[in-house]
Every structure is written in structure tokens, then in C-alpha cells.
A and B are shown apart, each in its own frame.
Chain A
Amino acid sequence: GQNIDQPTEMTATEGAIVQINCTYQTSGFNGLFWYQQHAGEAPTFLSYNVLDGLEEKGRFSSFLSRSKGYSYLLLKELQMKDSASYLCADYTGRRALTFGSGTRLQVQP
């Protein structure tokens, strides 16, 4: 969890597609979580990947490559309400969910 890297900020246009990348330390890896957090609110669970490949949930999809220590969150048909922070997290090396620095996504009209 302490070696999770994400871009700090991203900007995208309403209706577009955006991909938020996350890299993590592979040693002891068990699975990767994505959370969404609107300003001043609690983080909410979006997805969990433990096997390689793409998991799709409506407009949101998450991808994992364990050999590369890489994941991404794909958001389609962006809406203004998707403006939020997106947090990559894992249990690696800890017995508690620990977060990367988070990516602040701004969706513009």
C-alpha cells in the first residue's frame, strides 16, 4: 500500500472516456481496490481485482495486470457527478486497507 502510485490530477470532458492508472508493488500482492470519494464524503467501493483482466460494472471498468504491477480504472460516458477523487488501495504487506495518493478527476462541460 505504501508504494502505490497514481497521477495527482486529471481533467476530462463530459461524455468522454478517461483512464486512471495505478502502479503498485507486486511483492505480497493479493488484490487491488478502487474507491471513489467526493469532497467531504466517505470513500465508496467501486471495484476489486484479484485476477488479471478487465472487470466491467456499467460505466466503470477496472483492469489488472499482476505481472506488471499495474491497474487502471476506466470511466466511460463521463458525467459531471464523476468529478471526485479516485483512490487505488490494497492490503499488500499490511492487514489493513492502505491507499495510494489518489487521483482528483475534474469533469468539464
Chain B
Amino acid sequence: DTEVTQTPKHLVMGMTNKKSLKCEQHMGHRAMYWYKQKAKKPPELMFVYSYEKLSINESVPSRFSPECPNSSLLNLHLHALQPEDSALYLCASSQPIERDTEAFFGQGTRLTVV
């Protein structure tokens, strides 16, 4: 199983809503990532979890709150988002980040904030 599964695939939310994005992998990877991607731009790193602990936060606004409940799951909690937060949110996983190995990406959640 080399899949990273993200749900939902599409999400429309209002600026006062609270929603969560979910990501799951069963490859035994101990590094998991959230990336944000705007149209015609490369993925931009948001957060990195290593062994279920937050290791990198790329100065992301607090309206984005990551959570790693266990080694297979990664969530991104959303609250009071702005229209400019509309983007494709990609989850990825890889072997422990002490080793430079390929990252596997999920299909992403297409988020629209209205």
C-alpha cells in the first residue's frame, strides 16, 4: 500500500465555519507533512510532523491548526479562514526525516472559502 488518502476531496466553507481535513497513510512512515498549493504555483510547506511531534511550522497563521493523533493520521483543523486561504491542501508522508527519501502525496483537498 503506497497510498496517502485525504478526505474530503472538495470542501466549501464560510469564513465563520470550523472544519477539518484528514490524511491517512499505512506505509509506516514517521514523517508527515501539510502543503498548500495555489494555482500555477509549487506546493508550499506548512507543517512537518516527525514521530508524531510537530517539528516545523512555517509561520502558518493560527487559524490553521495541525494535529497528529497517531503515526498513521494527520489532521488540519480550520477556523475563521479567509478567501485567500482557498487552495489545494496536500498531505504527504515519508520515511523518518533523518533520511532523504521520496515523499508520497495524497490527492489533496480542494478548499474554497466563501
Q: Looking at chain B, what size class is its interface with the partner chain?
A: 20 to 34
Q: Are B100 and A31 in touch, CB under 8 angstroms?
A: yes
**How distant is the Cα of A44 from the Cα of B108 in the complex, in angstroms?**
12
What mask results when residues 4 to 35 of chain B are scored 1 for a CB within 8 Å of chain A, else 0? 10000000000000000000000000010100
Minimal beta-carbon separation of A25 from chain B (angstroms): 15
Q: Are B48 and A33 in touch, CB under 8 angstroms?
A: no
Measured CB to CB, the residues of B under 8 A from A are 4, 31, 33, 40-45, 48, 50, 55-56, 88, 90, 92, 94, 97, 100, 102-108, 110
The main secondary structure of chain B at its interface with chain A is strand
Q: 28 A–B contact pairs at CB < 8 A?
A: A40-B110, A41-B107, A42-B4, A42-B90, A42-B107, A44-B105, A45-B103, A45-B104, A48-B100, A85-B42, A87-B42, A90-B100, A91-B97, A94-B45, A94-B56, A95-B48, A95-B55, A95-B97, A96-B33, A96-B45, A96-B48, A96-B56, A97-B94, A97-B103, A99-B43, A100-B42, A101-B41, A102-B42
Q: Are A95 and B42 in touch, CB under 8 angstroms?
A: no
Tell me whether A7 is interfacial, beta carbon within 8 Å: no
- Residues of chain A contacted by B48 (CB below 8 angstroms): 95-96
Partner of B42, one of A33, A42, A48, A101: A101
Q: Are B100 and A91 in touch, CB under 8 angstroms?
A: yes
- Residues of chain B contacted by A43 (CB below 8 angstroms): 43, 90, 105
Tell me whether A3 is interfacial, beta carbon within 8 Å: no
Minimal beta-carbon separation of B57 from chain A (angstroms): 11
Minimal beta-carbon separation of A28 from chain B (angstroms): 11
Q: Are A97 and B40 in touch, CB under 8 angstroms?
A: no
Q: Are A99 and B42 in touch, CB under 8 angstroms?
A: yes
> Which of chain A's residues 81-109 have a Cβ closer than 8 Å to chain B?
85, 87, 90-91, 94-102, 104
